[in-house]
């Protein structure tokens, strides 16, 4: 049975409105990730034992990319050659997009967003610009992609606002809704193409702020925001952080025993814990360790596993477990991430993806995320999954700069790595409105003062 929904549309300003929805949840049907019982059409590359790590870097890269292609093809029931073509086109187009930062004859304030079209074959790219972009700007973009060998690029100067403008507007709206005092959760997304902001807010049952007061406050706080936005109020929970290196276990010890598991003290490890992302180095101190989600904080201990290192949060635990130390953290407008120093262990540019210890060979820039772009993620609970980017910028409960993707995740996957083609992309945060959300690796490096270790 579906939730019954009643909404009231309230006009606040000529270009803004709030939709107040009362949801009577009789039964909740969760179907965000359907389970297909059929066998995969394609097999993952055979990398039994340590054979993979003995191959050349080029051979390892080829196998890693093929593993991503197989995962995507099996999940979305696509022909493997089609997916290989899409990943190849995506890699070439993203290189050209990133190089735009050095294009001096283009007004960068006119950029809005880029999106891949993988619905048709062969794949193509749409490059959206602000509608007041000059003909010179449009021709500069076309010439740039042509020189880079990227075909099938449509340049569209039709967006009402630029990327930077929409991000500023969204932050103002998000903060206004959160500060109104009526909501326990707030999630906001940006429709860059049409210049609109969508906000979903979960009603705080303990709040004494009524609907009319919240409307007046939000209208006042957003009076200088020209972009239209719509606020949907609901009583449903919107999402959650998914608490659980690269790709190893980070798990809390949940009682006061002085013994680790098997030590005779009756202690048990809590579930589900977190997943770690990538190895990193603190240049100013030389300390090494790993990056993870900030909400997975705490002291930790480490023990070896067949897949690498497994990290566990330390609470009154003694014995042979070696300690890792929280060095820096950030949870706010730039994302959700932390850096732990692990003095016990050697540097590594590898991370576990559920199948192979793949190499981290490059890192995404702050703007290197595009609509429908293929990405992959690993979590200690879910394992590996791949999907497309659904939001190039979103905010959730005060956290901003997040990227949304339609990949499967569960509690315990928080902190896990995102990548594509051995390129480091981000750190898993949680899940909102049916999609996963992750922090950008570029902002994590800057705010934490670290560098992800590359091969």
Is-cis flag, bond preceding 272, omega within 30?
yes
Note the Cα 289 to chain centre separation in Å: 21
pLDDT digits (tens, 9 = 90+) for 187-216: 999 999 999 999 999 888 888 988 899 999
Residue for token pair 């049952």: 205
* Average pLDDT for 292-310: 53
Residue for token pair 């080029």: 58
Angle, vertex CA 30, rays to CA 29 and CA 36, nearest 5: 120
Reported CATH class of domain 241-452: mainly beta
Average pLDDT over the chain, rounded to an integer: 78
Rounded to whole angstroms, how far apart are CA atoms 272 and 255? 15
Q: Where exactly are the structural domains of the chain?
A: 4-27+163-237, 79-159, 241-452
Residue 323, class by beta-carbon neighbours within 10 Å (0-12 exposed, 13-18 middle, 19+ buried)? middle
pLDDT digits (tens, 9 = 90+) for 163-188: 999 999 999 999 999 999 999 889 99
Q: Which positions ≥6 away from 58 have C-beta within 8 Å?
A: none
| 279 to 139, 166, 341, 381, 430: CA distances (angstroms) | 42, 33, 10, 20, 21
* Average pLDDT for 321-343: 79
Residue scoring higher pLDDT (356 or 229): 229
Q: b/e for 37-71, b at 16 or more Cβ within 10 A? A: eeeeebebbebeeeebeeeeeeebbebbbbbbbbb
Rounded to whole angstroms, how far apart are CA atoms 83 and 18? 41
Which pLDDT belongs to residue 49?
58
Name the range with the highest mean pLDDT among 17-31, 187-201, 266-280, 303-317. Answer: 187-201
Q: Which positions ≥6 away from 305 have C-beta within 8 Å?
A: 248, 249
Domain 4-27+163-237 coded CATH 3.10.50: no
Which residue(s) pair with 363 in the sheet?
A: 424
């Amino acid at each position: 049975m579906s939730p019954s929904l009643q909404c009231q549309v309230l006009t606040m300003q000529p270009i803004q409105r709030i939709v107040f929805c009362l949801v009577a949840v009789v039964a909740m049907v969760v179907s965000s990730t359907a389970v297909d019982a059929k066998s995969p059409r394609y097999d993952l590359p055979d990398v039994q034992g340590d054979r993979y790590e003995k191959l050349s870097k080029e051979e390892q890269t080829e196998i890693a990319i093929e593993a991503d292609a197989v995962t995507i093809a099996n999940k979305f029931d696509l022909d493997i050659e089609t997916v290989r073509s899409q990943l190849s086109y995506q890699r070439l187009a993203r290189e050209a997009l990133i190089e735009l930062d050095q294009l001096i004859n283009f007004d960068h304030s006119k950029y809005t967003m880029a999106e891949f079209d993988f619905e048709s074959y062969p794949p193509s790219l749409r490059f959206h610009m602000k509608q007041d972009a000059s003909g010179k700007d449009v021709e500069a973009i076309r010439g740039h992609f042509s020189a880079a060998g990227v075909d099938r690029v449509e340049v569209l100067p039709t967006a009402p606002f630029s990327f930077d403008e929409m991000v500023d507007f969204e932050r103002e709206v998000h903060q206004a809704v959160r500060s109104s005092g009526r909501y326990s959760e707030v999630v906001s997304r940006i429709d860059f193409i049409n210049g609109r902001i969508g906000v979903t807010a979960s009603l705080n049952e303990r709040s004494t702020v009524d609907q009319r007061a919240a409307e007046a406050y939000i209208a006042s706080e957003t009076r200088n925001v020209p972009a239209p936005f719509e606020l949907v109020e609901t009583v449903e929970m919107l999402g959650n952080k998914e608490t659980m290196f690269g790709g190893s276990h980070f798990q809390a010890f949940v009682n006061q025993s002085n013994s680790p598991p098997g030590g005779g003290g009756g202690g048990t490890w809590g579930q589900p814990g977190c997943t770690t992302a990538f190895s990193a180095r603190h240049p100013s101190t030389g300390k090494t360790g790993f990056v993870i989600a900030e909400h997975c904080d705490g002291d930790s201990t480490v023990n070896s596993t067949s897949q690498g290192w497994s990290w566990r949060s330390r609470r009154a635990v003694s014995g042979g477990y070696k300690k890792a130390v929280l060095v820096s953290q950030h949870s706010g407008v730039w994302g959700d991430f932390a850096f732990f120093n692990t003095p016990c262990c050697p540097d590594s540019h590898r991370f576990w993806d559920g199948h192979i210890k793949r190499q981290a060979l490059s890192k995404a820039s702050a703007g290197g995320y595009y609509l429908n772009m293929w990405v992959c993620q690993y979590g200690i609970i879910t394992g590996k999954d791949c999907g497309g980017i659904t939001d190039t910028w979103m905010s959730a409960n005060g956290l901003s700069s997040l990227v949304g993707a339609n990949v499967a995740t569960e509690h315990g996957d928080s902190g896990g790595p995102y990548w594509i083609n051995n390129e480091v992309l981000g750190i898993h945060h949680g899940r909102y409105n049916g999609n996963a959300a992750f922090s950008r690796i570029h902002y994590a490096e800057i705010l934490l003062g670290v560098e992800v270790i590359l091969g």
